[in-house]
Structure 1
Amino acid sequence: MKVNIEVERSVKVELPAEQVRKLFDDLEATIGRFPKLKRLNRIGPDQYVWELNTIGSRIAKIAHDVTYGAHYKRSGDGKEVSWTPIAGKGNADISGVFRVSESGSGSEVRFKVKGELRDVPVPLIYRLAAPPFIQGKFIALVDTFLERTRDAVMQQVSEEAPKKKIARKTA
């Protein structure tokens, strides 16, 4: 069975966009925060094959081990990373965009993904329920990914901040 997915989510970060954009400097580390990522194989410059752990429910027999290839491209202004599927790599075609923009006193990290999962094993009785169920699973994964990304950026900035010296009184 083929299942289409489409997810668009965002998270606010209380830092200027310029600081948040640093997460695109290390694409592999950023991708590595995605939940259920079992393996990330680099197959060329800015090209990776993702292998995810099972998504769904084995008990309900709606479960899929997703594998797909993607070619990443950074925008010239550094505000965005987009990706397109690599034909013939895996059982899914997934494209998307990851964008950082100014928002009020901080920034917004927006993540949009769209694609098709192929060969999803679904019993006939669950054929109508499977697409929204799998879509819901992907939404939860993206939400967790954005939370991890926000937390990683905040931690990186706090580690880079100069440490305050503690003045000691001498007698």
Structure 2
Amino acid sequence: MAITVSIELNREFEIPASYDEVFELLADVPRSASHFPKVDKLTDLGDNTYRWEMEKVGVDKHAIQSVYACVYRADKDAGKITWEPVSGEGNGVVSGSWTLVANGASATSVKFKTSAQLTVPLPSLLKLAISPVIKHEFNSLVDTYMNNLRQAF
């Protein structure tokens, strides 16, 4: 038995660095991922495709781990970096984008948008209780990621 939790996130913020610097960091998936908290393992699957394995949360047989893979595409002229899910990889389906706009020579406006569906091996009776916990944890991880990115510059 399993439940699926859907999450949609949107963030907008400014990074105190040039467009080129910000784009270079965000388009480099391993470098960008190094700022994301609780990543257990990031595996390069080739062709700009990566499998993310997050740290396990919980205890023993009740531990939950998010695993998913995405293919990344970067278009510097359009100011867009996108990721699409790779089917059959893990228990998550994640897609999203970064949209960047230069804000003068030394600042970049950034929009982050992601959608995730995580399937976890729990009884459906727990969906109402566990869904908000998973959403809160995901929000917290993304907020920490955004703060880490700002501090990187």
State the TM-score, normalizing by the size of structure 2: 0.84
Residues 1-171 of structure 1: matches in 2 within 5 Å? 1-55=3-57, 57-58=58-59, 64-77=64-77, 79-103=79-103, 106-121=107-122, 124=125, 126-152=126-152, 154=153
Q: Which residue of 2 aligns with 1:160?
A: none
Letter in 1 for 2:30: E
How many matched pairs?
149
In structure 2, the gaps of 5 or more residues are: none
- How far off its partner does 1:45 sit? 1.3
Partner SS for 2:36: coil
State the TM-score, normalizing by the size of structure 1: 0.76
RMSD of the alignment, in Å?
2.3
Q: Which runs of 4+ in 1 moved over 6 A?
A: none
CA gap 1:128/1:43 in 2 versus in 1, 3 angstroms: same
CA gap 1:81/1:92 in 2 versus in 1, 3 angstroms: same
Percent same amino acid among aligned pairs?
A: 30
Q: Which residue of 2 aligns with 1:165?
A: none
Contact 1:21 1:78 in 2 (8 A): no
Q: Which residue of 2 aligns with 1:159?
A: none
Partner SS for 1:96: strand
Contact 2:23 2:76 in 1 (8 A): no
Superposed CA offset, 1:75-124 (max 9, x none): 24162211000000101111111222234773222221102111342573
Larger radius of gyration: 1
Contact 1:7 1:138 in 2 (8 A): no
- How far off its partner does 1:22 sit? 2.3
In structure 1, the gaps of 5 or more residues are: 155-171
